[in-house]
Amino acid sequence: MSAANPDDDTSPLVWLPFEADLLGNVPSGLRCEVVDPTVAVPPTVGEVAFYVPPYQVGPRVAEVLDRMGSLQVVQTLTAGVDNLRDRVPAGVTLCNGRGIHDTSTAELALALILSSLRGVPGFVRAQDRREWRPEVRPALADRRVLIVGHGAVGAAIEARLLPFEVEVVRVARSARPGVHPVSALPDLLPDADVVVVIVPLTAETRGLVDADFLSRMKDGALLVNVARGQVVVTDDLVAALRSGRIAAAVDVVDPEPLPPDSPLWDAPNLLVSPHVGGASSAMWPRAYRLVREQLHRFDAGEPLVNVMSGAY
């Protein structure tokens, strides 16, 4: 245990997945415990007022919420809250990790795009075979990139794309200046060379990328999914890849981990990374900063940031 105020058992209790010292200046009015509920659930579970679950949210992490009778705030380290949203008790404030993964995910999205377009997976396989196989590949320059889900991560992806001399088209849940609504996708997809999907998983986005969506993509286009695996209908993606019309690069799949018998393993023109968009050295400094700021707001009775609303 590391505690900001270890001598006051009546001060609000915070459960953290890491040592409080990593946060730097923790409010003195809070008690902090380092807890991994997948290993053990301490008897203080009923006293927890502010809960920061581990980065990897599994069933046992969500189940512990039912035992937190004093819970006021859940602060996730993930941008998506689909694994916890339905388990958070009524009256408890749920905050996501907006800002923690923007940099990491944007970097990976760009890496997937460039690797796919320039044929890096093929070069690696040729290297393993000791073969020298030069070829002309499409560049990212001069391409039209459609970002489906232009929130914080989408904006971070755009910022990294623009120096590559591309045209960026933005899509979000609802229209705003410079951003198209999701309803405009049927008209936008046929003109996009690269389609980057970075939407939250909701009832509206589950299965968004289906056979109809994929059929509207232009021949030779690249689909990049750095959102959630369930946003894409796996069988429809496999069919589209086998047709040879499109290519894809995905950091997320359905289910995860990808089972050995999944048809995605053998699908042509597909690059798969094992859900590592947020998992980089850039994550933790941003995570510590957000949690520290939230704890100071909580201790001072100030409004929290990143509060999830019914819109998601």
Residue ranges covered by each domain of the chain: 13-100+282-300, 138-272
b or e along 28-59 (b: 16 or more beta carbons within 10 Å of the residue's beta carbon)? eebbbbbbebeeeeeebbebbbbbbbbbebee
Q: What is the pLDDT of residue 6?
A: 52
**CATH number of the domain at 13-100+282-300, please?**
3.40.50.720
- What pTM was computed for the model? 0.87
User: Residue type at 52?
Assistant: V
What is the predicted pLDDT for the residue at 246?
A: 98
Confidence of residue 4 (pLDDT cuts 50, 70, 90): low
pLDDT at residue 311 above 90? Answer: no
Q: Which residues are catalytic?
A: 228, 256, 275
* Equal CATH topology for 13-100+282-300 and 138-272: yes
User: pLDDT tier at 1 (50, 70, 90 boundaries)?
Assistant: very low
pLDDT by residue (tens digit) across 134-157?
999 999 999 999 999 999 999 999
Cβ atoms within 10 A of the Cβ of 283, count? 19
- Of the pLDDT bands very low, low, confident and very high (cuts 50, 70, 90), residue 169 is very high
Domain 138-272: give its CATH code: 3.40.50.720
19-39 per-position pLDDT tens digit:
999 999 899 999 999 999 989
Side by side, which strands form the sheet with 73-75? 31-34, 13-16, 48-51, 73-75, 93-95
pLDDT at position 62, please? 75
- pLDDT tier for residue 101 given thresholds of 50, 70 and 90: very high
Sign of CA dihedral 82, 88, 94, 100: negative
pLDDT at 166 over 50: yes
- Does residue 5 register a pLDDT over 70? no
